[in-house]
């Protein structure tokens, strides 16, 4: 029976439902749903997002097999005899490497960001948050295509086992059950959890990605891109390990668009001209040559580097990705500061009179 299950591509669909039921039940038993402040639009975004992903997976699987058998019949089942110890790592590593870069690109490029933005509109975590992306995001997501080709090539057992492993990590890293939180407090387990968190994505690692602002020194909204494995972030310089959880999640500027706009843009556009999902939205340049002199209280501040913030000279999350990051600075006491607003200072965030050149 196990052999037949591992050779049936549909088994992966059942695995998704089982994993959601397991972690969903844990969240329910812990009483997290009673504490939830999700809006109706939040629930609908996650509910219909789930069907967008599963529906697209089924169509892609059928399409690849159907067209593959017509166009490339000799390639069907070509890797069926390759041992599992080779095909399983192959499936997992290629899948997660592709997802890391796709996810990172979704933060780097404004066009793709619009389709990933629903994921970051969530102000609470939970097992269903992983399904908050638009139909375009799921249409292009490499994981679905890679899984379909792997099954066409005969790597069905590797794909199903790999999918189960990924589902466990991804679902647990989004869950409100922070399974790693208690382990950090047990001193003799520190060496073990240190190894674990540098291999797989833990709740702490991924919650950091969903944090609202870097100003809390915990959040890393333009880093920690890994899907199942955290070593991609370590390899490419986007990892932040704090073993803490941000107290505020979501986006600095969220216009609370309805679920239909979030999931079906550009077929359905926002009527709010300030929304990134509106018809003619363009990010305005808000930087100016003249510096800004302010009297600031002691505290942590996040200076805008991209020049698009509506709250100059401070960051409002208008930037994307790793190329142009806001700069965090801290004042130990109340001070008068002259902050750069031309975004060309060599002593950022402070003005060095470069604007006069």
**Structure confidence at residue 7 (pLDDT):** 65
Q: Is the Cβ–Cβ distance between 241 and 197 less than 8 Å?
A: yes
Residue 274: pLDDT band with limits 50, 70, 90:
confident
Residue 282 included in any domain: no
Final residue of a structural domain among 190, 207, 235? 235
Q: Is the Cβ–Cβ distance between 38 and 129 less than 8 Å?
A: no
Cα separation, 215 vs 217, whole angstroms: 5
The answer to whether residues 229 and 318 belong to one domain is no
The answer to whether residues 316 and 213 belong to one domain is no
Residue 247 included in any domain: no
For every residue of 202-247, DSSP letters joined together read: -HHHHHHHHBS-GGGSS--TTS---SSBSHHHHHTT-----S---S
Share of the chain above pLDDT 70, in %: 96
Burial class (CB in 10 A: 0-12, 13-18, 19+), 66: exposed
Domain that holds residue 340: 292-356
The answer to whether residues 49 and 172 belong to one domain is yes
Task: Identify the DSSP state of 343.
Answer: S
Residue 273 included in any domain: no
Residues 174-221 pLDDT 10s: 999 999 998 999 998 999 999 999 999 999 999 999 999 999 999 999
**Mean of per-residue pLDDT scores for the chain:** 92
As for how many domains the chain has, the answer is: 2
Query: Which of the residue ranges 28-32, 196-200, 340-344 has the most confident prediction, judged by mean pLDDT?
Result: 196-200
* CB atoms inside a 10 Å sphere around CB 322: 15
Residue 304 included in any domain: yes
In this predicted structure, the answer to whether residue 255 has a pLDDT above a threshold of 80 is: yes
- What is the longest distance spanned by two Cα atoms in the chain? 76
Give the helix ranges, DSSP H, for the chain: 2-6, 11-29, 32-35, 40-71, 84-108, 110-120, 135-140, 142-152, 156-174, 190-197, 203-210, 231-235, 259-264
Residue 105 included in any domain: yes
Share of the chain above pLDDT 90, in %: 70
**Structure confidence at residue 12 (pLDDT):** 67
Query: Which of the residue ranges 19-28, 42-51, 279-288 has the most confident prediction, judged by mean pLDDT?
Result: 42-51
The answer to whether residues 224 and 296 belong to one domain is no
Residue 257 included in any domain: no
Residue 281 included in any domain: no
The answer to whether residues 309 and 181 belong to one domain is no
Residue 336 included in any domain: yes
**327: which strand partners?**
303
The answer to whether residues 203 and 336 belong to one domain is no
């Amino acid at each position: 029976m196990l052999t037949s299950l591992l050779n049936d591509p549909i088994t992966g669909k059942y695995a998704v439902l089982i994993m959601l039921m397991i972690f969903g039940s844990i969240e329910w038993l812990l009483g997290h749903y009673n504490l939830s402040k999700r809006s109706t639009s939040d629930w609908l975004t996650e509910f219909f997002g789930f069907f967008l992903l599963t529906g697209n997976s089924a169509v892609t699987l059928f399409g690849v097999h159907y067209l593959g058998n017509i166009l490339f019949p000799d390639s069907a089942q070509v890797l069926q005899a390759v041992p599992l110890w080779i095909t399983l790592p192959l499936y997992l590593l290629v899948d997660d490497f592709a997802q890391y870069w796709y996810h990172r690109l979704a933060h780097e490029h404004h066009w793709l960001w619009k389709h990933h933005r629903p994921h970051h509109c969530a102000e609470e975590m939970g097992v269903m948050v992983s399904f908050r992306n638009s139909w375009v995001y799921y249409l292009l997501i490499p994981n679905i295509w890679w899984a379909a080709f792997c099954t066409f090539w005969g790597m069905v057992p590797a794909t199903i086992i790999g999918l189960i492993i990924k589902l466990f990590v991804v679902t647990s890293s989004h869950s409100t059950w922070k399974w790693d939180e208690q382990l950090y407090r047990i001193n003799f387990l520190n060496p073990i959890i240190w190894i674990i968190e540098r291999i797989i994505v833990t709740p702490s690692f991924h919650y950091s990605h969903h944090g609202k602002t870097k100003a809390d020194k915990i959040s890393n909204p333009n880093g920690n891109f890994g899907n199942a494995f955290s070593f991609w972030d370590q390899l490419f310089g986007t990892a932040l390990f704090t073993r803490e959880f941000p107290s505020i999640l979501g986006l600095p500027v969220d216009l609370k668009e309805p679920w239909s706009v979030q999931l079906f843009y550009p077929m359905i556009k926002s009527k709010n001209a300030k929304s990134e999902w509106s018809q003619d939205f363009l990010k305005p340049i808000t930087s100016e040559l003249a510096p800004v002199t302010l009297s600031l209280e002691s505290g942590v501040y996040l200076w805008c580097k991209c020049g698009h913030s509506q709250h100059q000279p401070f960051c409002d999350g208008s930037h994307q990705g790793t190329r142009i990051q806001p700069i965090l600075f801290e004042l130990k006491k109340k001070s008068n500061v002259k902050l750069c607003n031309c975004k060309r200072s060599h002593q950022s965030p402070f003005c060095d009179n470069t604007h006069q050149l």
